Every structure is written in C-alpha cells, then in structure tokens.
Amino acid sequence: MPPSVDRLVTFMRMKLYARDVGLSMLGLNGPIIQLVAAPSHPTAIPLLLSLTEPLGWRLLPGGTPERVRIQMPKKLVGEERLDALEGLLTAALSIPQK
C-alpha cells in the first residue's frame, strides 16, 4: 500500500477510535491535536488530558472544557505523531468509562 494511503487508513481508524472515546472531532496539524468532546461524553476530554500529562504533551491556552488543543513534544515528527495519537486513543479505549 502506498504511504499516503496507509496514512489515510490510519487516520480514518483513529477517527473511529475517537468516536468510541466520546469525541465529535479529532484533528492533527503538525504537533497540535484538536479535540472536541461529543455533548453526550463530557468526560472524554478529562480522560485524554489525564493520559497526555505524563507524556509531556502540553495543553494550549484558549480551550474550553469540551474543546481543547494539545501540543505534542517537538521531538515527535511525521509518522511518530500518528503513532502517538493512535496510542493515546487506544489507551483511552482500554479504560472503563462510567
């Protein structure tokens, strides 16, 4: 599979994971992740933030409880960013939600 198709498949899989975690929107622009919680899942953002803090990912100012932007460490580049984001989402899925 060409690399561009592989990246597209990976990102589509992550969008499905994001929906299952309780997000209505997931975006990745360079080292910046944009997350928006679905109205019926107010705990999605706090859960993800609790997982990113030990990784050294930084919450950017200007967010709201249901909409945040997080900066990954600059040492992560290219495919590493996709892998890290996918790891975050799968870790969140492994935690039982109330």
The total number of structural domains in the chain stands at 1
Given a cut of 80, whether residue 22 has pLDDT beyond it is: yes
Given a cut of 90, whether residue 2 has pLDDT beyond it is: no
Query: What's the chain's Rg over C-alpha atoms?
Result: 13
CATH number for the domain that contains residue 80: 3.30.1360
Segments forming the whole domain that contains residue 45: 3-88
Provide mean pLDDT across the span 14-39. 95
Residue 98 located in a structural domain:
no
Residue 40 located in a structural domain:
yes
DSSP 67-98: EEEEEPPTT--THHHHHHHHHHHHHHHTSPP-
pLDDT at 7: 84
Contacts of 16 (CB under 8 A, 6+ apart): none
Given a cut of 80, whether residue 98 has pLDDT beyond it is: no
Given a cut of 90, whether residue 33 has pLDDT beyond it is: yes
Residue 25 located in a structural domain:
yes
Given a cut of 80, whether residue 40 has pLDDT beyond it is: yes
Q: Rounded to an integer, what distance in angstroms lies between the CA atom of residue 74 and that of residue 77?
A: 7
